[in-house]
Structure 1
Amino acid sequence: MKKLLNTIYITTEGAALRKDGENFVAEVDGVEKARVPFHMLASVVTFGAIHISPPLLRACAAAGITIVLLDRVGRFQARVEGPVAGNVLLRRAQYRASDAPDEIVRSLVTGKISNQRAVLMRALRDYGPEFPSDARCAIEAVVERMARIVRRVGLGNDPAEFLRGTEGEAANLYFSVFGHLLRSPDASLRFGGRSRRPPLDPVNALLSFLYTLLTHDCRSASESVGLDPAVGFLHRDRPGRPSLALDLMEELRPVLADRLALSLINRRQLREKDFEFRDGGAVFLNEEGRRTVLEAWQERKREERRHPFIEETAPLGLVPYLQAQLLARHLRGDLDAYPPWFWK
């Protein structure tokens, strides 16, 4: 099984990253802040203006360590990596399957909707008596409707195009009651519906930031098993879009991202002061807010869960890699279908 290696997040603008022997070194104003051996490092994610020395770039490329460049608010800019060791036979199978993706899309949609529904059910179980009656009734109604959608998807033989519409219907239902799960005293930490590019409230800013982190992990996972991260099944091909990484993310984000967002807000680890409100309505995490989220993200990835298909316990951070491996096995013909990951 793949070892859960470290991802280093550099959030201090003006930091300098360099190579020292077989070590990654981060400095701020000439003072060393971090030192990690290359063999323990999986990737480096930087925010804003960070200096990266050419020797470090070459060393990371040679060692298979990916460097991801995000702007200061967490929007993707670039990705630096060495030669991609794709399996040509596996990728040919992936390309053929992308032309007739119905069954893989069915598995992805089933996994995503089931996990979204599980998030709502967990909230009802943990806080049901504390919800206002109208909120509780709304969540219960959505849970029931999503159960019907999951049954419809699982029992039908609908084409991918219809399944994409079903996924969108379930997402609209889920986010229509997501705001009821928030328990922050800050008036600004409210959710009025999903908004992106740019996010228009702190909750959307947090969700978008977590989805960016998860997409990075899913892209690395797909490349690690030899798949092409640009060719997906649920998400249509588009130049520059990592469609397969977005596919793998869909079934995982209700648990890895949405649940973490709820915990950070409801435990008051994030408050209004952790966000930057810009002219025009855009909202982003500020530097202190990003640090809080990144620390929680790393902790979340170390939590262990039993995988329902392989029946082994593994850290949540390895789940994208396990799912990429299962998808590769299906494409090679070793599995009759792609088994989604269900949160229990």
Structure 2
Amino acid sequence: MRTFCVTGFGKKLKKHNDLLKIESKEDDNDEAKNLLVSPLDFDAVIVSGEHDITTGAIRLLLKNEIDLMILDHFGNPAGYILPCGKSKLIERHETQSRISSSKALCIAKAMCIASMINKISLLRSIQKNTGVDIETHIERIRKMTVQAESCLEINSLQGFECFSTNEYYSALMKIIPAEFNFTGRNRNPPMDPFNSLLGYGYGILYSKIRSAIVKAGLSPYYGVFHASYKNQEALVYDLIEEFRQPIVDRVVLTLIARKQVSSDDFNVTNEGCFFKNNFKKKYAGIILTRLEQEYTYENEKKTFSEIIEAQADILASAILETGKYSPFIYR
């Protein structure tokens, strides 16, 4: 699932014959002032920043069954435009909404434990590479995975998720350089560079997860683990938990370790921490590249985008049929 990302400010997206044309302002530093791309080369477009798009361009995307996703400046999803075949709500949504509490608990438990294991995997890698002792945090999360196995209610699982997340970020506070001013997770708006990196990366990942869920024939609004998230796309929040560390967090921490990002790439104000335009484009490209990297999944090489779609299909089978949900665990 290839994605085309438009960042910065002042671009115009329009239809040119059967191609999508992206025009930039004369004073734009973007190397490609007028870019022509074929809709056959991708299946999703993400637009972040202030841009114009014509109805002709929108029709071209819809004709080619391409999702259009709009993000705000921090990477939060603002909305989607989907082809009719994807956006008509899923005749199976009634079955999805009537999922039994026992089945929901089973799926939620698998998701929660996988998320914890992926946190542990990343923290162990960090500890090995940096020599910083974060074993106490790792062990606390490990114990929570054991306790989560015996949970009888989703509310209890959510408590373990919260505790493990707090331990995870407490460990990262010992790793992240002081220049990033990271003192814990914050959002809407992010107040420091590290949280800005996470938030924007999660926004791109969220869009991918949502598309995969809809493609699998599920409504994003009926969650199992985060079902209490009323009027939000709870199922997206469910599935994204397995992929935060493998896709976004690993990229961010690698950039920091290799000194490929610094606090100079951001403008920090009382209203939040904002990317400088050139770096936002670069970072979006890095996240999209990560999504197209291959990983051994079910004994064969697949890109992470393909793995996300496969996991959405497995989730659909578990929710709507009798399949067992096997979560994604990064080894």
Query: 1:150 aligned to 2:145?
Result: yes
Q: Secondary structure at the match of 1:270?
A: coil
> Which of 301, 309, 315 in structure 2 is aligned with 1:327?
315
Q: Secondary structure at the match of 1:88?
A: coil
Aligned residue number for residue 27 of structure 1: 23
Which range moved further: 77-86 or 260-269? 77-86
Scaled by the length of structure 2, what TM-score is found? 0.91
Query: 1:304 aligned to 2:304?
Result: no
Aligned length: 323
* Structure 2: distance between partners of 1:68 and 1:98: 32
Query: 1:82 aligned to 2:83?
Result: yes
Aligned residue number for residue 130 of structure 2: 127
Aligned residue number for residue 200 of structure 1: 191
Report % sequence identity: 24
* Structure 1: distance between partners of 2:185 and 2:136: 20
Query: 1:338 aligned to 2:328?
Result: no
Query: 1:209 aligned to 2:200?
Result: yes
Residues 71, 78 of structure 2: 8 Å contact kept: yes
* Structure 2: distance between partners of 1:191 and 1:38: 40
* Residues 64-117 of structure 1: per-residue CA shift (max 9 Å, x gap): 21112223343432222222255423x333212275521111011011001001
* Structure 2: distance between partners of 1:240 and 1:27: 36
- For residues 163-178 of structure 1, the aligned pairs below 5 Å read 163-178=157-172
Query: 1:102 aligned to 2:128?
Result: no
* Residues 146-198 of structure 1: per-residue CA shift (max 9 Å, x gap): 111112222x142111111111111111111112233x4xx421321111111
* Structure 2: distance between partners of 1:116 and 1:74: 22
Tell me: CA distance 1:142–1:279, structure 2 relative to 1, closer, same or farther (3 Å). closer
Residues 213, 309 of structure 2: 8 Å contact kept: yes
Aligned residue number for residue 43 of structure 2: 42
CA RMSD of aligned residues (A): 1.9
* Structure 2: distance between partners of 1:109 and 1:11: 33
* Structure 2: distance between partners of 1:35 and 1:264: 30
* Structure 1: distance between partners of 2:193 and 2:126: 21
Report the CA distance between 1:240 and its aligned residue: 4.4
Report the CA distance between 1:319 and its aligned residue: 2.1
* Structure 2: distance between partners of 1:249 and 1:32: 35
Q: Which consecutive unaligned segments of at least 5 residues does structure 1 have?
A: none
* Structure 1: distance between partners of 2:77 and 2:91: 28
Amino acid at match of 2:167: L
* Structure 1: distance between partners of 2:72 and 2:97: 32
Aligned residue number for residue 284 of structure 1: 274
Q: Secondary structure at the match of 1:283?
A: strand
> Which of 227, 236, 248 in structure 2 is aligned with 1:257?
248
Which range moved further: 234-243 or 219-228? 234-243
Residues 74, 199 of structure 2: 8 Å contact kept: no
Residues 16, 27 of structure 1: 8 Å contact kept: yes
- For residues 233-272 of structure 1, the aligned pairs below 5 Å read 233-238=224-229, 240-272=231-263
* Structure 2: distance between partners of 1:16 and 1:98: 48
Report the CA distance between 1:48 and its aligned residue: 2.2
Report the CA distance between 1:215 and its aligned residue: 0.6
Residues 85, 226 of structure 1: 8 Å contact kept: no
Amino acid at match of 1:163: L
Residues 149, 170 of structure 1: 8 Å contact kept: yes
Residues 151, 157 of structure 2: 8 Å contact kept: no
Report the CA distance between 1:27 and its aligned residue: 1.3
Which range moved further: 75-84 or 172-181? 75-84
Q: Secondary structure at the match of 2:174?
A: helix
Residues 75, 202 of structure 2: 8 Å contact kept: no
Residues 235, 246 of structure 1: 8 Å contact kept: yes
* Structure 2: distance between partners of 1:62 and 1:99: 40
Report the CA distance between 1:226 and its aligned residue: 0.8
Aligned residue number for residue 29 of structure 2: none
Residues 71, 203 of structure 2: 8 Å contact kept: no
Aligned residue number for residue 93 of structure 1: 95
Q: Secondary structure at the match of 1:14?
A: strand
Scaled by the length of structure 1, what TM-score is found? 0.88
* Structure 2: distance between partners of 1:262 and 1:50: 30
> Which of 4, 8, 21 in structure 2 is aligned with 1:8?
4
Residues 23, 36 of structure 1: 8 Å contact kept: yes
